Amino acid sequence: MAVSQRQGMVDKEHPGLSISHQCDLLALNRSSLYYKPRPGNKDWDAVIKTEIEEIMTELPYYGTRKVSADLKGKGIRVGRRWATRLLREMGLKATQPKKFKACKRQESRVYPYLLENLVITKANQVWGTDISYIPTRYGWTYLMAIMDLHSRMILGWKLSATLEVGPCVELLKETVAKYGKPDIMNQDQGSQYTSQKWTETVEGYGIRMSMAGKGRCYDNILVERGRCGIKIGEASSALSILSLGFFNRGRQAE
């Protein structure tokens, strides 16, 4: 039996057996019951590594800053450099997907970029949408997400086994039905968003289309960060690790 298990069997309030007698029966050194590892030694590192392992198991996309912040929230003051060293020793690093490369048909219509110098002051002023992928043992699954760029709230998302435009249109309709329509919809020039079915649906709601072009690689960064949290949660534990509500309410602030 492990020492930690035997230590857990000691009852310091037992009316008939002293602590010394219990330690003798369990083959324990009495001083081990009162030992507390100090910050900076290997035992303390081991304690922190256990906490880090739990964090990275549930939130594998967390980097050193968020790991450090989570540990501080648990009362363990660990700086970013310390967290970086421990993560390196454990062979762990954040799982961040690469951005999906957008491809459009040559004949597709490209819309102007409307967010230049635009100040976003209210909800439903500008929505952003994007597509990413989830690698699974059975192949690729694709994630579509829509975010309100003022509140940074993910309004809707949908998983699909294909990159067809149909799920994107369904997601838009569901989101508009739930939250109303935005003034502007911003997206990249992917084939789904330049397709006739998508553009007709968006314009049918009276929404103005905005498309990020060359040199606008950060336009949808908020959507990408949000969908990253959702996608890893979905792929890791079948909807249980990370929910839409976690990103909207419980995540570490960007």
Nearest alpha-carbon partner for 70 in 177, 38, 60, 230: 60
Distances from the Cα of 239 to the Cα of 57, 62, 65, 196, 231, angstroms: 14, 18, 25, 33, 9
Q: Per the confidence metrics, is the pTM higher than 0.75? A: no
Give the chain's domain count.
3
Same domain, 22 and 56: no
| Same-domain status, 12 and 43 | no
pLDDT digits (tens, 9 = 90+) for 129-145: 988 877 666 667 888 88
pLDDT digit string (tens) for 55-92? 888 788 888 899 999 888 877 888 888 889 888 888 88
Same domain, 66 and 90: yes
The answer to whether position 105 is within a domain reads: no
Within-domain flag for 112 = no
Answer yes or no: do 90 and 151 share one domain.
no
Q: Does the residue 107 lie in any domain?
A: no
Q: Are residues 68 and 162 in the same domain?
A: no
Pair (134, 214) in one structural domain: yes
| Residue whose tokens read 């949660």 | 233
Q: Are residues 237 and 150 in the same domain?
A: yes
Note whether 147 and 182 are same-domain residues. Answer: yes
- pLDDT value of position 246: 45
| Higher per-residue confidence, 155 vs 109 | 155
Per DSSP bridges, beta strands 139-148 and 126-136 are antiparallel
pLDDT digits (tens, 9 = 90+) for 18-28: 888 888 888 87
Q: Which residue has the tokens 């990159």?
A: 163
Class of residue 223 by CB neighbours under 10 A (exposed 0-12, middle 13-18, buried 19+): buried
pLDDT of residue 208: 95
**Structural domain of 8:** 1-35
